[in-house]
Structure 1
């Protein structure tokens, strides 16, 4: 069994089409077909059900795919580990992040890190809260910036970097727009603009409202922070939003107001796997994050 055969197999399994897999890997279709045939001959089982050049995995093929994907990740990590031990300041950091930390937090940290290690490269993966946790557990990437920091989740450990406030973002013509502070209960009758169900920021906001005995009326939903800010800017409702997402500027025709009763916060930190070691370059960045946000926190306070 050769690594080349395994990579051909994985690509065909993902695309369910031999020609498309060959095109993606820049090799001849016949070469891919031959290697898959050789692999099946060696294993003594059919990995695919064939329908012309379209294919579907057999049950044993699906099991084999799961195992081989993990094997290839281990091989790739081992190769990277050797390369980075030779020179960790020229390696690559694979990291996940949510949209709420994409505008300021992560870019600021990466920019500061690359001033110290200018040849380090980054491979970024944006996604939802559960996507980031699952990605670290499965080994799609070895760390993620996340908020809030999960507690008691198996196979990962989290380090809190800072705690931030959740604030109200209102249209400029809102009756409470001139207030210095507002209570969440003051927004009881307002239409809310939130992330869809399943997003952690929605859960934080709904739980805060529940503490005061009401459920927010959700008029619109947005899957990223900029969409939500844009809908508030258009006057379509109000939202509660991490303050750091507004650090550079407010959206047009909106106002940011701190919350009281209750004061809503979230932790922001980094998660890593408990069952795998960080690669040398990733370890450099992981250690840098704690140092960087500790200094930043002292400066801001």
Structure 2
């Protein structure tokens, strides 16, 4: 029995599928299947029920899973203690990101860490907000970058790295282009363009409209702020977006301030405060917190504030 087999077994159990587990492990799916079959032969029992559309643990698999996790945790602990005592910084860190605003030099931050610690492998993955927070809470991700909107799970900490005003943008031929600002109550009934539910920017919009007594009519959604600008530039509605995203189609857009109340967008790095972290992960978190720009203009940060990207 090999540790690799246990690692693959835990990944398949947590991801409920061989393909997703392979993607998480950055290996080919047939290799994962082969190692699981070998483990099952050694134990003499099937660990997964493969008869349905999703992969499920058998009764034996359920019983074995805690021991597999404990074995992997023990090995991880041995490596962590050894690295602490010898002062070596090696291993692998994984960062998740929902989107990266142009004002943030994420590539520069990653390159700087690589120069300082070339023996540490760095991975950057794009994901959605829910999966990112889940990955941080469960330890699959060491650091995350996302819009901050709503409470964070217990044990997950955040630091704001971008704080900018949210604005409205319309095509220059739109009737609203004659105005310099638009109030939140005036958004009622207008076809809006926004990031999807679950993002910080959308949470800020939903909260502001709820305070004004209505639900926003979001006609178009896109996962990238710059796409919101391009949709608005085509005359498809009024985009709510961070100031930095306007540049994607600035020549065709008229920008309006949002008033009554104004809305701000925040992006932050998030990490798990509790739980065991490798020396590499701790160094990576500290490096990111120090080197990513902190553009906060409104004072301190409360992770439960709804204003966010």
**2:107 corresponding residue in structure 1:** 110
CA distance in 2, matches of 1:231, 1:125: 26
Q: SS in structure 1 opposite 2:40?
A: helix
Structure 1 CA distance, aligned partners of 2:102 and 2:279?
A: 25
Secondary structure of the equivalent of 1:267?
strand
C-alpha displacement at 1:139, in angstroms? 0.9
Deviation at 1:80, TM superposition (A): 7.5
Q: Secondary structure at the match of 1:141?
A: coil
1:158-200: CA deviations, max 9, x gaps?
2233432111122222222243333223333421123344444
Which runs of structure 2 are paired with 1:34-183 in the superposition (5 Å)?
Answer: 34-38=38-42, 40-41=43-44, 45-49=45-49, 57-62=57-62, 64-65=64-65, 68=68, 72=72, 75=75, 79=79, 86-88=87-89, 92-99=92-99, 102-106=100-104, 108-112=105-109, 114-115=111-112, 117-118=114-115, 119=118, 121-148=121-148, 151=151, 153-183=153-183
Query: Given the alignment of the two structures, is residue 15 of structure 1 paired with residue 48 of structure 2, yes or no?
Result: no
Q: CA deviation at 1:137?
A: 0.6
Which residue, out of 19, 22, 29, partners 1:24?
Answer: 29
Is the CA contact (8 Å cut-off) linking 2:163 and 2:265 kept in structure 1?
yes
Alpha carbons of 1:70 and 1:186: their partners in 2 closer, same or farther (altered >3 Å)? farther
Q: Where does structure 2 lack aligned partners over 5 or more consecutive residues?
A: 20-26, 298-309
With the length of structure 2 as denominator, give the TM-score of the two structures.
Answer: 0.72
Number of positions where the alignment pairs a residue of Structure 1 with one of Structure 2: 282
Q: 1:209 deviation in Å?
A: 1.5
What is the SS of the residue equivalent to 2:204? helix
Q: Which runs of 5+ in 1 are unaligned?
A: 17-21
Against the structure 1 CA distance between its residues 221 and 146, is the aligned structure 2 distance closer, same or farther, given a 3 Å change threshold?
Answer: closer
Question: Quick check: 1:5–1:36 contact (8 Å CA) kept in 2?
Answer: no
Does the 8 Å CA contact 2:167/2:256 hold for their aligned counterparts? yes
| Greater Cα offset, 65-74 or 266-275 | 65-74
Q: Tell whether the 8 Å contact from 2:182 to 2:257 is kept in structure 1 after alignment.
A: yes
Moved more, 65-74 or 255-264: 65-74
The alignment's TM-score, normalised by the length of structure 1, stands at 0.73
Q: Do the aligned partners of residues 174 and 82 (structure 1) sit closer, same or farther apart at CA in structure 2, a change above 3 Å counting?
A: farther
Q: After TM superposition, give the deviation of residue 242 of structure 1 in Å.
A: 2.4
Q: How well do the aligned residues superpose, as a CA RMSD in angstroms?
A: 3.9
